[in-house]
Amino acid sequence: MVAILGRGNELITLDGVSKRYPNGTDALRDVDLEIDSGDFVFLVGSSGAGKSSLIRLLIREELPSSGRVWVDGQDVVRMRRSAVPKLRRRVGVVFQDFKLLPRKTVTENVSFALLVTGHSGEEAREETERALALVGLSQRREHFPDQLSGGEKQRTAIARALVSRPKILIADEPTGNLDPVTSWEIIKLLVRVNELGTTLLMATHNAEIVNALRRRVVHLDHGMVVRDEREGQYAA
Amino acid sequence: MRRLEYIGTTAAQGFWRNPVMSVASTFTVGLMLLLFAFFLATDRGLQAAVGVLESKVELALFLEDDARVSDVLALRARIEADPAVSRVDYITKEQAMARLLDIAARRPDIQIIDTSSNPLQNSLEIKLAHAQDAPRVAAALRQEVGNGVVSDIVDNPQVVDKLLTVTRVLSIGGLAVLAMMLIVALFVIVNTIRIAVHARRDEIEIMKLVGATDWFVRWPFILEGMLVGALGAVAATVVVLIAAGPVMNAMVGFIEILPLSFGTTFVWQLVGSVFALALAVGGGGAMLSVRAHLAK
Quick check: B295 contacting A, CB < 8 Å?
no
Quick check: B109 contacting A, CB < 8 Å?
no
Distance (Å, whole) CA B46 – CA B259 = 10
Q: What is the pLDDT of residue A42?
A: 96
- Name the residue range of residue B148's domain: 58-155
β-sheet bridge partners, residue A169: A92, A200
| Pairwise CB contact (< 8 Å): B211 & A112 | no
Distance (Å, whole) CA B18 – CA B224 = 11
Amino acid at A223: G
Q: B144 and B289 share a domain?
A: no
Q: Residue B104's closest CA among B115, B94, B93?
A: B115
Q: Does residue A152 form part of some domain? A: no
Q: Does residue A197 form part of some domain? A: yes
Quick check: B216 contacting A, CB < 8 Å?
yes
Q: Which residues of B touch A119 (CB under 8 A)?
A: 2
pLDDT in tens, A28-72: 999 999 999 999 999 999 888 999 999 999 999 999 999 999 999
Q: What is the pLDDT of residue A165?
A: 94
Q: What is the pLDDT of residue A169?
A: 97
Q: Which residues of B touch A113 (CB under 8 A)?
A: 206, 210-211
Backbone angles phi, psi at B263, to 5 degrees: -75, 170
Q: Does residue A68 form part of some domain? A: yes
Q: Which residues of A touch B2 (CB under 8 A)?
A: 115, 119-121
Backbone angles phi, psi at B110, to 5 degrees: -115, 130
Q: B12 and B113 share a domain?
A: no
Q: What is the pLDDT of residue B53?
A: 64
| Pairwise CB contact (< 8 Å): A117 & B3 | no
Residue A212 three-state SS? helix
The rounded mean pLDDT for chain A is 92
Q: B172 and B35 share a domain?
A: yes
Query: Which residue is closest to A165 within chain B, CA to CA?
Result: B210
Q: B124 and B185 share a domain?
A: no
Quick check: A164 contacting B, CB < 8 Å?
yes
The DSSP output letter for B149 is: S
Q: How many domains, chain A?
A: 1
Quick check: B209 contacting A, CB < 8 Å?
yes
Q: Report the residue from B6, B203, B212 with minimal CB separation from A85.
A: B212
Q: How, if at all, do strands A40-44 and A216-221 pair?
A: parallel
Q: B126 and B210 share a domain?
A: no
Amino acid at A42: F
Distance (Å, whole) CA A185 – CA A2 = 37
> If you count residue pairs, one on A and one on B, with CB atoms under 8 Å apart, how many are there?
50
Q: B165 and B281 share a domain?
A: yes
- Name the residue range of residue A181's domain: 2-99+167-229
Q: What is the pLDDT of residue B158?
A: 61
Report the share of chain A in percent with pLDDT over 90. Answer: 83
Q: B188 and B278 share a domain?
A: yes
Q: Which residues of B touch A112 (CB under 8 A)?
A: 206-207, 210
Is there a contact between A156 and A106 (Cβ–Cβ < 8 Å)? Answer: yes
- Is pTM beyond 0.80? Reply is no
Q: What is the pLDDT of residue A133?
A: 96
Q: How many domains, chain B?
A: 2
Quick check: A83 contacting B, CB < 8 Å?
no
Q: What is the CATH number of the domain that holds A18?
A: 3.40.50.300
Residue B200 three-state SS? coil
| Pairwise CB contact (< 8 Å): A88 & B210 | yes
Distance (Å, whole) CA B292 – CA B296 = 7
Q: Of B124, B155, B186, which one is at a domain's C-terminal end?
A: B155
Query: Which residue is closest to B219 within chain A, CA to CA?
Result: A116
Q: Could you list the pLDDT tens digit for every one of the 296 residues in chain B?
A: 666 777 787 778 777 877 888 888 888 888 888 888 888 877 777 777 666 666 666 788 888 888 888 888 888 898 888 888 888 888 888 888 887 787 777 666 666 666 677 778 888 888 887 767 777 888 888 888 888 888 888 776 566 666 677 777 877 887 888 788 888 888 888 888 888 788 788 888 999 999 999 888 898 889 988 999 999 999 999 998 888 777 766 766 655 545 455 667 778 888 899 999 999 999 998 898 888 887 76
Q: What is the pLDDT of residue B166?
A: 73
Q: Does residue A137 form part of some domain? A: no
- Cα–chain center distance at A13: 15
Q: Report the residue from B202, B205, B210 with minimal CB separation from A117.
A: B210
Q: B187 and B119 share a domain?
A: no
Q: Report the residue from A85, A99, A120 with minimal CB separation from B211.
A: A85
Distance (Å, whole) CA B210 – CA A110 = 10
Amino acid at B125: E
Q: B149 and B251 share a domain?
A: no
Distance (Å, whole) CA B134 – CA B54 = 10
| Pairwise CB contact (< 8 Å): B2 & A112 | no
Q: What is the mean pLDDT of residues A176-199?
A: 94
Residue B264 three-state SS? helix
- How distant is the Cα of A88 from the closest Cα of chain B, in angstroms? 5
Q: B168 and B267 share a domain?
A: yes
Quick check: A101 contacting B, CB < 8 Å?
yes
Distance (Å, whole) CA B195 – CA B21 = 9
Is there a contact between A53 and A62 (Cβ–Cβ < 8 Å)? Answer: yes
Q: Of B114, B137, B155, which one is at a domain's C-terminal end?
A: B155
Q: Does residue A104 form part of some domain? A: no
Side-chain-facing half-sphere of A155: CA atoms under 13 Å: 27
Q: What is the pLDDT of residue A5?
A: 45
Residue A19 three-state SS? strand
Q: Which residues of B160-198 are buried (b: 16+ CB within 10 A; e: fewer)?
A: beebbeebeeeeeebeeebeebbeebbebbbebbbbbbe
Q: B285 and B245 share a domain?
A: yes
Q: What is the pLDDT of residue A4?
A: 43
Q: B141 and B172 share a domain?
A: no
Q: Does residue A162 form part of some domain? A: no
Q: Of B155, B183, B218, which one is at a domain's C-terminal end?
A: B155
Query: Which residue is closest to A94 within chain B, CA to CA?
Result: B209
What residues of chain A, 122 to 151, have a C-beta less than 8 Å from chain B?
A: none
Q: What is the pLDDT of residue B2?
A: 64
Q: What is the mean pLDDT of residues A86-106?
A: 93
Cβ neighbors of B272 (< 8 A, separation 6 or more) are: none
Q: Does residue A199 form part of some domain? A: yes
